[in-house]
Structure 1
Amino acid sequence: MKSLVAPLMMLAAAALAACTAAPTATKNDVEALSLAIQSLDPQVDAGEARRAAELAYSHSARLAEQYNVTTSPIIHNTLVNSGVKERGICVHYAEDMEARLDQENFRTLTMLRAIAEPKNEFRIDHSTAVIAARGDGIYEGIVLDPWRYGGKLYWSATTDDPRYDWEPRLKVLRRKYERRMAKEAAAGT
C-alpha cells in the first residue's frame, strides 16, 4: 500500500498540472505592495519599498518555477514530504524569500520570520516571511506569503491576515521546545 502513494501522487500531480497557471503580477499589484511597504513608517525609503515589492512578486513566481509547483500547495507539500519533490513547503518559501530580500541590504527595511500554529488538530504550522520598517517587529510588518497560492504572492498587514494568527518565529519555536521538554519530563517520571 505504501509503495502506491508516490505513484498515485505523481499521477494526481500530472492530472492537475494543466489546471495551474504561472503566477503573474500586474503593475498595480506591485504598486499597491510598494505603497503599503512605504506606509509602514515615514522613514521607509520609497525606492527601497518599490524594489522590495518588485522582488517579492518576481521572486515568488521564480520560487514556484524553481520548486516546479504544478498543483495546489497542499498536494505539493505531500509530494515534498513523500520525497517526490525536493522543495516547496511553506518554510522553504519563507527561508528563500527572506534570504533574497536580505541580499538587498535595505537601510530602512528589515526581513523577519513568522509562524502561525494551527487553529485545530487537522492543520499544520505555517511559516512566512515578514517585511517591516527597520527596528519594527512582525506585528508592525507585512506578511509576504508566496506558498499560500502556489507561487502567487499573498500579502497583508500581519495583524490583518484573516487565515493565520502570526507570531514571531523564535517565540513559537521556544514554546514548542518547552512543550516537548515538558512531555519528555512527564514521560520520564
Structure 2
Amino acid sequence: MIRVFKSALALLMLALISACAHQPVNVDRADVDLLAQEIRSLGPEVDPEEAQRAARIAYGYSAQLAQEYDITDPPLVHNAKVNAGIKDRGLCYQWAEDIEARLKQENFQTLTMHRAIAEPRNGFRVDHSTAIISRRGDGFQDGIVLDPWRGAGELHWMPTLEDARYDWEARLEVLERKRRRLEARN
C-alpha cells in the first residue's frame, strides 16, 4: 500500500513539474530535407532517394507514434505513466524498436539499421535506447541517432559520435553484459 502511495505521489509530482502540456508533433519539410542530407553525407554509396525516404519515414513515423502512444507529457512523465499502467507504450526502447522495425520494412539497399543502448552515467539509474541508421556495411558509430523519445515524439537526430548526452553501445553487447552481471549476483 505504501509503495502504491509513493508511486502515485511521484507521478503527481512529475505531472505538476511538467510546466506545459505536450503539443502535437508537426513534420517540417525543411527538417526532413536536412536529415536526408545528413544521411546522404554518410557516403557516396548512399542512394539519395533512400536517404530522402528514410528521413521522411523517420519524421512521419515518429509523429504517428506520438499519437499512437498518446504522448501528452515530457518523456520522463510519460515513462512514469507507462510504468504505472496508465499508458500502454512510449518507453525509449519501444520508440527505438518501432522506428527500427518501420525503417527495416523499406529493405534499403544502401542503408542499414542498428539498435544501441546507453547505460546510465552518474547516479541516474536508467538506460536509454535508440535506433541508428548508417550506410550499409558501417557500424552504428558511423551512423545517425534517430531518437523521438527525447523530444516526446519530435525526432531528435545527430551523428552517433556527436551525441554528447549518451555513450552509445551496441544493444546486444549491453544486454549480454547485463546478463553476465545478473548471473554473477546469483
TM-score, normalising length: structure 2: 0.91
Deviation at 1:9, TM superposition (A): 3.7
Quote the offset at 1:70 in angstroms.
Answer: 0.2
The aligned counterpart of 1:144 is: 146
Question: Which residue is 2:30 aligned to?
Answer: 28
Report matched runs for 1:1-189 at 5 Å.
Answer: 1-4=2-5, 5-6=7-8, 9=11, 19-184=21-186
Q: Distance in 1 between matches of 2:127 and 2:19?
A: 26
Which has the higher mean CA deviation after the structures are superposed, 168-177 or 142-151?
A: 168-177
Over the matched positions of the two proteins, sequence identity in percent amounts to 52
**Length, aligned pairs only:** 184
Check the 8 A contact 1:6/1:79 in 2, yes or no. Answer: no
Q: Name stretches of at least 5 consecutive residues in structure 1 with no aligned partner.
A: 185-189
- Of stretches 18-27 and 144-153 in structure 1, the one that deviates more from structure 2 is 18-27
- Whole-Å Cα distance in 2 between the matches of residues 68 and 50 of structure 1? 27
Secondary structure (helix, strand or coil) at the match of 2:156 reads strand
Aligned-pair CA distance for 1:181: 1.5
**Alignment RMSD, CA only?**
2.0
CA contact (8 A) 2:131 2:147 kept: yes
Q: Residue 119 and residue 3 in structure 1: after superposition, are their counterparts in 2 closer, same or farther (change >3 A)?
A: closer
> What is the rounded CA distance, in whole Å, between the counterparts of 1:149 and 1:50 in structure 2?
21
1:187 match: none
**Aligned residue type for 1:160:** E
* Rounded Cα–Cα distance in structure 1 between residues aligned with 2:128 and 2:104: 21
Task: Give 4+ residue runs of structure 1 displaced > 2 Å after superposition.
Answer: 1-19
69-78 vs 2-11, which deviates more?
A: 2-11
User: Structure 1 residues 56, 17: closer, same or farther in 2, change over 3 A?
Assistant: farther
The alignment partner of 1:120 has SS state of coil
Query: Runs of 5+ in structure 2 lacking a partner?
Result: none
TM-score by length of 1: 0.90
| Amino acid corresponding to residue 104 of structure 1 in structure 2 | E
Counterparts of 1:11 and 1:167, CA distance in 2? 32
